[in-house]
Amino acid sequence: MDTFSTPGKPPSLGADRDARMIIERTNPETGKVEKIEVPREHWENDAYKDFYDHTTKIAGGPEAITPEKYPGYFKRIDEMKNNNPEHLTPDQIEHRAWAEEHNQLFTDKNHVEASRDNSDQLNQFVNGKETPTQVTPNVVLTQQGKSQLLDPAGYAKMWHEKSDVYARMGNQPEAVAQSQKGIEQYMKIREGYDKQGLNVPPMDRQTTKAMELISKAPVGVDATPQKMADLNKQLQTLGFKDTNDALGKVAMQNETLGFAQPKGLSSANTTRISINGIDPPPRDPTDGTVIR
């Protein structure tokens, strides 16, 4: 098992982890050890069960896990029973709901909380054979001014899901914390585009102010119900329905990165594009495979 976090950021010291299963091997061309993901459908059910079995013991056993102590867990079980497109068994639902309650996610590059640009996995044709390999995530290269996002719409949806999953659970402080990470990454990408002589459509006043409020909002133990209520009220004065509405629309701001144009040649210098209902430009329908 390998922990995986936002590319380019140092690992968090928090107890929660995004984790993936990998095979470590030596690349025959470079001689470097690389990590190759195993698709999660082959192992995630076992991983969620193991996490459940180990950590429920730490929590005091099944008798200590009650609706009074873990209301979010039991709420999530009910939600998953009523909406179960993966046809999970009752035990699998309990295992996943428990993991969500404790911010534990088992993932791979195709997960809804992942994106093509964040992935460090790429299939390459080497000597006529398709071979998985580990590469520098494209988002890191973009922030360095060496590339552009391959899929701005997918990248935006990823950050939307990262905050929305906690909003659905009623964990507003963690939803805000995820949005803060997304805003930080978004601003780094804008800097990377600027290094390449590209203009991204400027943010409108509403979006700019919302980002400022969210970035400064308290999280963790400092995010008291009163402070979360204050943030909600401030965002409503800007025209958002509530905090979750603002988090979602701020995340979707990443879609505007697809409208970047060379400086001096684009209306991106002056045109403000709304974050409501953006239609991204046509994309090259490639699957990410590189032929060498």
Q: In whole numbers, what is the pLDDT of the chain averaged over residues?
A: 86
Q: For residue 235, is pLDDT > 80? A: yes
Q: Which amino acid is at 234?
A: Q
Mean pLDDT for 206-228 is 95
Q: Which residues pair with 24 in a beta bridge?
A: 35
What pLDDT digit, counting tens, does each position of 145-183 carry? 999 999 999 999 999 999 998 898 888 999 999 999 999
Residue 18's pLDDT band, with cuts at 50, 70 and 90, is confident
Phi/psi zone of residue 182: left (φ > 0), alpha (ψ -120 to 50 degrees), beta? alpha
Q: For residue 276, is pLDDT > 70? A: no
- Domain ranges, ordered by start, for the chain: 40-106, 136-291
Predicted confidence at residue 270, as pLDDT, reads 41
Q: For residue 92, is pLDDT > 70? A: yes
Predicted confidence at residue 255, as pLDDT, reads 95
Residue 244: which H helix or E strand, with range?
Answer: helix 243-251
Residue 11's pLDDT band, with cuts at 50, 70 and 90, is low
